[in-house]
Structure 1
């Protein structure tokens, strides 16, 4: 006698994502249930969603198709990058990656040196790819962010300052539409800030009371001058010296600069994370923008926001922890390593200590590959 559907659903919802992948091989019906929207909604309702990290690798000169991986966390057994199926349609260089809902949106980019307006979607429940409606404009290296369940995109066009350049995608209606940018004023709707080197920042006020940034680098290069990871209202960043630092933007801003403090206990990692132009080892940090703190700086009169205030590389967060990736050249192969760092703020002196939960060699690849992006998806 078979079990009731709801009982099976609620039981499977309690299983970890990695084990669900193994269970999906048992039968077609279980595989269908694991990948269903009901499973996703049940895990959300029960507060059992997990942070999954996806990594996209590419070659320096684009000679090979992009490769996608998921970071499998196996507790004491070590972490590994596991390849996932690639789409049947052509890979795109210089695309923009956005995580929303149960998947990753790959926006714009170039195909054989031609800028494209194509948009594709990776459903992280099933690791299947699909094509979505194209944007109104072809874009490379665009800036994008999620706001109120929609994806806003700006920049990356030849006519970068066109009033019709920003556009928004509604996943419910599967449509793109233009976004009107009002005059550059500081109010509760929109502001536009011009920073040094013609960095332009468009800011939209969300229904949840948060600011979201969309940076357009008018110089045309791929520098991202503002980044970091926000954990428990604190901003974390990694400097060129390999030291992970933190600040409290609400109380730590002094005369246009932030007061940065070292995260203690991570001396064993500093040598790996230190940027050295004479060494092939390179830091591979990718993360999310410090939107709320940038807005705070603007309201205090610092019109450049966070530009120039963050000491170095961006870092990624996952479930409240910091997860950096770095590479090490061994012979004729390049090894990718990652660490997971939990954080503890001590009441006695207010200092923050990092605890290295694990350090793992997660993948070995050709030395001409590098990490294009790493993206968090909550499943």
Structure 2
């Protein structure tokens, strides 16, 4: 280990980038220098160049009274499929804590939120570790959330503007070429089958999708009397977590929601678990919800 300490930082980083993330916890305990390198944005940038499926979790730390980034990796203490959260040294910003988020390549896009108008977006480059402000959308709406989806690397945002003439506004952003917002002919959204699917927070609890070829929003996926908390697409299957219905998947052929059932259990997260978040990870559905500690569930 003494020979490792004599090497320059860039050489050590190139060694660490080839070590599984599940080992970083132990490595960071060896010395202050290694801990600093493990948490450094440069190591995270180098790892982001490797092809992999990653989850980034942004959490509020009550002890530090601040927000903190984590990434998910397999636990080194067991041979089973158990995971642990590893802290990351990425920028912390209160403004993005309640934004709609979407990922294109190595960048995470934060659109609107409770603390910013909906026309504002922020972009986190996971390779460089830099958080920047992106180009504003054309129309500023007063509602705090927006339906956001990615189709063919283009970002679609569906918003409802409130006023004398209440209507739906759809804008599209091309991050690879024009990098500008253009108009396209209370929601959460995921992309599926060349459509942008949205779940409405309104009284009717109706979902819908924005069909790209037709350039219009169609209503479908009705589930009255229940409120969607979050949605996620895994292997072309649309999942949603409802406040009372729990975790369900949508059958596009039957146009109906079905509770997720296995031979052993029905997965529902009861009562106060109203801040559930879901994400695709390594072909599985990862579900997180708050408790005395961050709790997670991985579903094939």
Give the TM-score band, short-chain normalised. Answer: 0.5 to 0.7
Partner of 2:210: 203
Match of 1:85 among 86, 90, 113: 90
Give CA-to-partner distance per residue, 1:319-362, whole Å, 9 cap, x none: 1223222333xxxxx32222334x3xxxxxxxxxxxxxxxxxxx
Kindly tell me: are residues 130 and 19 of structure 1, through their superposed partners in 2, closer, same or farther at Cα, counting changes over 3 Å?
Answer: farther
Distance 1:324 1:191 in 2: 22
Deviation at 1:153, TM superposition (A): 0.9
Q: In structure 2, what is the equivalent of residue 303 of structure 1?
A: none
Counterpart CA distance in 2 for 1:123 and 1:243 is 33
Q: Deviations over 1:161-199 (max 9, x none)?
A: 457x2211121232112223xxxxxxx999999998285
Structure 2 regions of 5+ residues with no counterpart? 1-13, 29-33, 78-82, 186-192, 220-226
Aligned to 1:339: 297
The structure-2 alpha-carbon separation of the partners of 1:74 and 1:227, relative to structure 1 and needing over 3 Å to count, comes to closer
Is the 2:288–2:297 Cα contact (8 Å) retained in structure 1?
A: yes
Matched position secondary structure for 2:263:
coil
Distance 1:71 1:192 in 2: 27
How far 1:109 sits from its partner (Å)?
2.3
3-state DSSP class of the match of 2:136? coil
- Aligned equivalent of 2:282: 319
Residues 257 and 178 of structure 1, relative CA distance in 2, 3 Å threshold: closer
State TM-score, norm by structure 2.
0.61
Query: Which residue of structure 2 aligns with residue 46 of structure 1?
Result: none
Provide the aligned length of Structure 1 versus Structure 2.
254
> Is the partner of 1:73 in helix, strand or coil?
strand
Tell me the TM-score normalized by structure 1: 0.50
On the 8 A contact 1:167/1:176 being kept in 2, the answer is yes
Equivalent of residue 270 in structure 2, options 270, 275, 293? 275
Separation in 2, partners of 1:248, 1:115: 35
User: Where in structure 2 are the equivalents of 1:147-166 lying within 5 Å?
Assistant: 147-159=151-163, 161-162=166-167, 165-166=169-170
Cα–Cα, structure 1 residues 24 and 104, in superposed 2: closer, same or farther, change >3 Å? farther
Q: Secondary structure at the match of 1:115?
A: coil
Q: Unmatched 5+ residue regions in structure 1? A: 1-9, 44-48, 181-187, 216-222, 288-315, 329-333, 344-379
Work out the CA distance in 2 between the residues paired with 1:148 and 1:141: 23
Structure with greater contact order relative to length (CA < 8 Å, sep ≥ 6): 1
Counterpart CA distance in 2 for 1:156 and 1:247 is 24
1:176 maps to: 181
